Chain A
């Protein structure tokens, strides 16, 4: 009985890929460990190894086919002589075992709410109106932001784990080593506290480092350098010694990587005077905010999002800077104000689209910057709509949403027609199981319900 070889998922966020090349022919005998095919995603090319022994009975997907969904049968293996291992699923695995640090933490089995989707049209900024744009992924937009700023200023350099030769654990720094060389694109050892401190020291000495954390989870090793050294020195020196540095990397929930690799640090850093914190939701903002961050003379933290790296959107051509500290009204509406950032914007906009079908027009505000927080835009909107829902993936206690609810209560209490509602991640460490993980994260359905509750409908 033939065994199906399935299209493997090579990363937690992969939903489909290109079957780039077959390395075996029909009729060929293979054994476990043989490399049978090459698969390309937007991040990388990976080799697929055979898991079972047998003869290739049929290649079901031809070479060069794009958009092959994960778990699609791509070949049949004749089980004759293969022993009794008729494993119909998972007959292939990526050759290079993903690690907890690499671009492939344990692979996603279920296409949960984690896949990069094209952005709703209205994620695009009003500020872009009229500008000529090109579609890019967030990953490409971030890369271009760094490349442009490195061309512009010789003092800008990038350091971090796997940023150079590996081209970035999440492929954000792809091509930078080739263009700028090892002096300016520097692979570090896995020592977050050490290289964060070296970055801060270099910044104090006048360079403009971009320090990439493979993920913000690992930056907890370095949080002392970020807060005690980078954020405070200007103040402690009476204004003499600043630190123009950018710390960046993916933040927030990833997919199926469990508690230590899946969490949002927005509130942690938004709490700290002396820092600026941005969290883009779309490629245009990612590019514009990162460029602004690199030019800023202060320490700026860019909280990116792994799930969004592969999402595409229009990015203005040419010089494009998004000012730090300015929120964007992503969608205008008069019935309710929804405030969110980063991936939360996707739940918010999906919910807004659903609500619009029922005649409820939500105003959706993308914070873009978490520190400084653009309270003026939020308050003005709440004064118009009289209702507030905040959406974020982070834990609920002392979150960005908590701060917004508090500020609105203090500054616009008389304008509220209902108590604000805060949608957040569940107040638990991130579980691994797919169903529990879904329950731990917010959803557009929750946002829809929250809006209905503040509208009493």
Chain B
């Protein structure tokens, strides 16, 4: 079977698709802004890695998969959880370390999971989730269940050795996994030019004959289109595929990052010219698919969901002290 060819012209979205993408991306954007705010208020502790700017990647890919397909990612995971349909209240309450959080407050920002939504975390060691994703795909192949596992990681993780160990076995065993490299150009504070000998990450599978392509990760339509083609190809039993999503994070690596390694102008230029949400918003309004009032209604609706989540996350009690000792082992 031939490999999926890169799309030449920008794919078209229907009105419903545009609206869905807009809503989903806006939810992530507003949620993350609120998380940043709560962090500043001292309500969220530790590390908190915001996804602002990268929303089109996960939303576009989520539009390309089927019920039952799995998702696993690193610690910049809030967007992935919301896109998987996890409840913003449960996610935000986990950020504040409360009992109603997805991990009962024991995981925090970097460690949430939902069996129900096929979201496998939420992993804090750079690169370590890549073999795990290949392992979930291994289970799919073992069972022959036709499921595909989307395994996300960043340009920083793409330099880790275990990523290549996973590439090798995924190709060798034709595992149904899409490796999605979210290239936001900075591994924490080190630009890809300073950390990677080759910066076209889509070609990092060449030694293993894993095909790959670069995708405009700021355009949700391009992401979904690539996702559609590639997920279908992977599902058909052709083995893994690499999608390098060219994207950008507006905020620092984590909340404590002053982001001195790049200029304000660079960030501003991405926001003004490539913002994934603004692109859809413009298409919806310019194409007169919806009017300003309808957009305001959506914005208000999203704000209320996020405010509701923040409200819940601030008032939900901390976990009961007895929870310290639970969930270490399952009863044999």
Q: Does B312 contact A (CB under 8 A)?
A: no
List which A51-82 residues lie within 8 A (CB) of chain B.
none
| Contact status A239-B172, CB under 8 Å | no
Please, which residues of chain A bring their CB within 8 A of the CB of B123? 229
Interface magnitude class on chain A: 35 or more
> Is there a chain A Cβ closer than 8 Å to B113's Cβ?
yes
A422 to B172, CA, bound (A): 48
Cβ contact within 8 Å between A240 and B136: no
Give every chain B residue within 8 A of A204 (Cβ-Cβ): 120, 132, 135-136
Q: Residues of A contacting B166 with CB < 8 Å?
A: 194, 197-198
- Bound form: Cα–Cα A196–B134 in Å: 11
Q: A441 to nearest B CB, angstroms? A: 33
- Contact indicator B169/A206 (Cβ below 8 Å): no
Question: Is B135 touching A200 in the complex (CB atoms < 8 A)?
Answer: yes
A274 within 8 A of partner (CB) = yes
Q: Are A197 and B135 in contact (CB under 8 A)?
A: yes
Q: A193-B161, A207-B142 are in contact. Are A238 and B103 (CB under 8 A)?
A: yes
| Cα-based distance from A191 to B161 in the complex (angstroms) | 10
**How far, in angstroms, from A183 to B141 measured CA to CA in the complex?**
10
* Cβ-defined contact, B330 with A236, below 8 A: no
A198 touches B131 (CB 8 A): yes
Chain A residue at smallest Cβ distance from B120:
A204
Q: Is B165 an interface residue (CB 8 A)?
A: yes
A197, B136: Cβ atoms under 8 Å? no
* A234 with B135: CB separation less than 8 A: no
Q: A201-B135, A205-B140 are in contact. Are A324 and B327 (CB under 8 A)?
A: no
Alpha-carbon distance A88/B145, docked complex (angstroms):
63
B130 at the interface (CB under 8 A from A): yes
> In the complex, are the beta carbons of A236 and B122 less than 8 A apart?
yes
The answer to whether the Cβ of B138 comes within 8 Å of any Cβ in the partner chain is yes
Residue A228 interfacial (CB < 8 Å): yes
B332 touches A295 (CB 8 A): yes
Q: Are B332 and A324 in contact (CB under 8 A)?
A: yes
Known: A234-B330, A240-B114, A274-B328. A191 touches B165 (CB 8 A): yes
Q: Is the CB of B107 within 8 A of A202?
A: no
Q: Does A313 contact B (CB under 8 A)?
A: no
Taken residue by residue from 95 to 112, chain B's Cβ proximity to chain A (1 for < 8 Å, 0 otherwise) reads as 000000111111100011
Check: B124 CB closer than 8 A to any chain A CB: yes
Asked whether A236 lies within 8 Å of B111 as measured between CB atoms, the reply is yes
User: Is B330 within 8 A of A225, CB to CB?
Assistant: no
Residues of A contacting B131 in the complex (Cβ-Cβ under 8 angstroms): 193-198, 200-201, 225
| Contact yes or no, B329 A276, CB < 8 A | yes
Given contacts A189-B168, A195-B165, A201 and B134 within 8 Å (CB-CB): yes
Show 7 A/B contacts (Cβ-Cβ < 8 Å), sorted by A. A195-B165, A205-B140, A228-B124, A229-B123, A235-B328, A237-B107, A240-B113
Q: Which 8 A-B pairs have the closest CB atoms?
A: A201-B135, A197-B131, A194-B165, A205-B139, A238-B104, A201-B132, A238-B103, A191-B165
19 other contacts beyond A194-B162, A241-B113, A274-B329, with CB at 8 A cut-off? A189-B168, A191-B162, A193-B162, A197-B134, A197-B165, A198-B134, A201-B120, A201-B131, A201-B133, A202-B142, A204-B120, A205-B138, A207-B138, A224-B128, A229-B123, A236-B103, A237-B327, A239-B104, A297-B330
Q: Which residues of A contact B (CB under 8 A)?
A: 157, 183, 186, 188-189, 191, 193-207, 224-225, 228-229, 233-242, 273-274, 276, 292, 295-298, 324
